[in-house]
Structure 1
Amino acid sequence: MKPSLSRYWTFQLLGWGVFALINIFFSLVFNMFSTRMLFRLVFFVEIGILFTHLMREVIHKVGLLMRKLQHQIVIFIMLTIIFGLLWALVQTPFEIICDLRSGANKDKPFHMLFIINFSMVLPLFLIWNLIYFMYHYVQKSRKQQMDTIKLEALVKELELKTIKAHINPHFIFNALNGIRSLIDLDPPRARRAVTELSNILRSSLSAEKGETIAFKDELRIVKDYLALEHMRFEDRLRIDYKVDDATLNQPVPPMMLQTLVENAIKHGISKQVAGGIVEVTSDYKDNFHELIVRNSGVFNGGTSKSGGFGLSSTRDRLQLLYGEKARFEIRQAEPEVVEARVLIPLN
């Protein structure tokens, strides 16, 4: 592998190189170019690189970039002045000894030449420090933003996993209660119910692998669940599907529709003496995938007792996955019909 310059040395050499070229250009334009001028410029650039590099070492040594912003500004100004004085202290005697003074500066005493050199290099060091400071400030801000994004993604992942961990035990508990009620009354139906439950568990375990699944897979879970519940409620439960086949491949949060259907059974159908209907609708509306679960019953206003963890988890998952773009509401659509409606933005 060929050795390559670091980003710092690339910018360092490029910056001072541009400075040297600008000086040469203007010396040619104003007919001031000479061997003396070129020699002085080369020395100027060399010690400029040396002193700015030493200044960088001091910045890293004292951990300046890790301090508060106010402290950084004050110390950067102090470093600029100190290294400007040191630079002038080296440049001035060199010019005198090597007889590199020209024009009006040729006969000036040491202290005057020192002041001139200091006032000349101070703006350069100030610009160098300003660029260095701003570069690292921007880099630090970008790193903090990336760390924040990674942290938010990690929190989102953990929250989604936590929500899923709550959903599955909640569903299993209700399903097992349904099977229990069938064991003594109708063992063959109970066995079929166990088969339905195993299908649901197998599907739900597969759903855990991603943040979303195809709607057709989610619908399969719902159909298994409703088939199981139909064994428990028999003629008290009527089921109607209004599904646009074009929506079957749309991604949806796993177990979300099943949660809404489970909520419709638990808080709607099971409380109706005559039972009722559960209607599942999937269609496109504007730029959304619309999912609707309607059930016979009375909505009591969305208290925690009515919705429990299921409805809150639906809101939480939609918020985490889609932000403000997704919508969810549950309401009394008709005097005896409760409607849960989800709008998922299309990609």
Structure 2
Amino acid sequence: MQALKKISAYWWCQIAGWGANLLVNVFFSWTFRGEITTLFLWRVLILTTLGLVLTHLMRAVLLRLNVLQKSFEKQAVYFVAITASVSFLLAFLQQMCYSKFNLYEPNEIKFSFTSRLIGNTFNSFVTLLVWNLIYFIYHYVERVRNQQIESLKAESLIRDLQLQTIKSHINPHFIFNSLNSIRALVDENPSRARTAITELSNILRSSMQAEKAETVPFEKELNIVKDYLALEQMRFEERLKVKFDIDEDTLDQPVPPMMLQTLVENAIKHGISKNIAGGEVQIVSRFNNFHHVLIVRNTGKLNGSYNNGGFGVSSTMDRLKLMFGDKASFVLKNTHDTQVEAIVQMPVNV
């Protein structure tokens, strides 16, 4: 059994192919002649042995000349030329063996050696052409399959690198903005600054855990956002009002980590902080048509930097495309003159 396992797939195909050719010859001899003669068995065994040896040598020539690496037109020329050459060699050796051991059929004796050689060369050419076509098709399919696998691996690698790049941008971006908020409190209200530092440590702990997964439960993401908003309310005080409209059934839905926090951060940076009177941030989570819909509304108005150049907008669009493809969408729009709405739709995970 161990010896059989060491036989390569190529040799199994060789044995199976030439074995099948032998059986076909035996079948037709029995069908049309009604008997299997010793003469016939010797002839078919010689043909099978020569076929095995010469096709193996032909394969070595194909590999040596790198035929499979050439253009399709050159492959066709090489295959025909090599097939014709080996067919002639097979027919010649076949005739030499028949002459040496006197294995000619009675009706073949009347033909000259040359005539028999030409006839056997033609028959051998058909057989070897089928062998080469199978060999070519197998390697063509195998090459295409390997190319597809390599392409998928490359796409997967690029996707992973892009996701990691986006994540590496999100966390420093968030940290720097949070530290700026704390810095604004240090001189004005030290006690509140200490509370803000505690809030920041909770957020950082959560964000570090979020780095370990491509998605996190929405409930966990929402808790990070609540910590972030508590930190920002230290800075904005009564200028920042927060409202939540959360369908509890959505809490276990997977979402990209730090995505909602980035959108809320964008809402405060481009909306609330630009308004002297401050404003309101509202977070909505619900199901709609087999999609998990997240909405971040804030007081403000869209402008060029908010809509096109903001990191939160570009990172959200990139992450949704990478993770969900065309199944997810992101829209940023004015609902009226004093309110901006960011809407994320992701496929429901059932």
TM-score clears 0.5: yes
Asked if the contact 1:179–1:194 (Cα under 8 Å) also holds between the matched residues in 2, the reply is yes
- Do structure 1's residue 170 and structure 2's residue 173 form an aligned pair? yes
Cα distance in 2 for residues equivalent to 1:328 and 1:262? 16
- Deviation per residue, 1:105-159 (Å, 9 max, x gap): 2321011000011000101100101100110111111111101100111111111
Change (3 A) 1:246 1:228: same
My pick for the range that moved more, 201-210 or 115-124, is: 201-210
- Deviation per residue, 1:35-87 (Å, 9 max, x gap): 11111011101100111111111122222222333322221121111111111
Query: 1:213 is aligned with what amino acid?
Result: V
TM-score by length of 2: 0.95
Asked if the contact 2:307–2:332 (Cα under 8 Å) also holds between the matched residues in 1, the reply is no
Aligned-pair distance for 1:170?
A: 1.2
- Give 1:130-145 correspondences, 5 Å limit: 130-145=133-148
SS at match of 2:212: coil
- Do structure 1's residue 207 and structure 2's residue 210 form an aligned pair? yes
Structure 1 residue ranges (4+ consecutive) displaced by more than 6 angstroms after TM superposition: none
Cα distance in 2 for residues equivalent to 1:280 and 1:138? 52
Tell me what 2:235 maps to. 232
Asked if the contact 2:67–2:75 (Cα under 8 Å) also holds between the matched residues in 1, the reply is yes
Change (3 A) 1:110 1:306: closer
Gaps of 5+ in 2: none
Query: 1:28 is aligned with what amino acid?
Result: W
Identity %: 49
CA RMSD of aligned residues (A): 1.5
Cα distance in 1 for residues equivalent to 2:176 and 2:107? 96
- Give 1:183-198 correspondences, 5 Å limit: 183-198=186-201
Tell me what 1:57 maps to. 60
SS at match of 1:226: helix
SS at match of 1:211: coil
Aligned match for 1:276, one of 252, 274, 279: 279
Cα distance in 1 for residues equivalent to 2:176 and 2:313? 17
Aligned-pair distance for 1:296?
A: 0.7
- Do structure 1's residue 112 and structure 2's residue 103 form an aligned pair? no
Aligned-pair distance for 1:103?
A: 5.0
Cα distance in 2 for residues equivalent to 1:329 and 1:107? 89
My pick for the range that moved more, 47-56 or 71-80, is: 71-80
Tell me what 2:221 maps to. 218
Cα distance in 2 for residues equivalent to 1:152 and 1:35? 61
Change (3 A) 1:305 1:341: closer
Aligned match for 1:345, one of 335, 340, 347: 347
Aligned match for 1:24, one of 22, 26, 40: 26
- Do structure 1's residue 295 and structure 2's residue 295 form an aligned pair? no
- Do structure 1's residue 245 and structure 2's residue 248 form an aligned pair? yes
Query: 2:87 is aligned with what amino acid?
Result: G
Tell me what 1:2 maps to. 2
SS at match of 1:70: helix
Asked if the contact 2:221–2:258 (Cα under 8 Å) also holds between the matched residues in 1, the reply is yes
Asked if the contact 1:267–1:306 (Cα under 8 Å) also holds between the matched residues in 2, the reply is no
Cα distance in 1 for residues equivalent to 2:216 and 2:265? 19
SS at match of 1:30: helix
Aligned-pair distance for 1:216?
A: 1.1
Cα distance in 2 for residues equivalent to 1:146 and 1:248? 37
- Do structure 1's residue 264 and structure 2's residue 267 form an aligned pair? yes
Gaps of 5+ in 1: none
Query: 1:2 is aligned with what amino acid?
Result: Q
Cα distance in 2 for residues equivalent to 1:134 and 1:60? 15
Change (3 A) 1:47 1:89: same
- Do structure 1's residue 38 and structure 2's residue 36 form an aligned pair? no
Query: 2:312 is aligned with what amino acid?
Result: G
- Deviation per residue, 1:150-182 (Å, 9 max, x gap): 011111111111111111111111111111111
My pick for the range that moved more, 73-82 or 229-238, is: 73-82
- Deviation per residue, 1:186-229 (Å, 9 max, x gap): 11111110111111111111111111111111111111100000
- Deviation per residue, 1:313-332 (Å, 9 max, x gap): 11011111111111011001
SS at match of 2:33: coil
- Do structure 1's residue 99 and structure 2's residue 92 form an aligned pair? no
SS at match of 1:271: coil
Aligned-pair distance for 1:280?
A: 0.7
Query: 1:107 is aligned with what amino acid?
Result: K
Task: Report how many aligned residue pairs link the two structures.
Answer: 346
Aligned-pair distance for 1:100?
A: 2.1
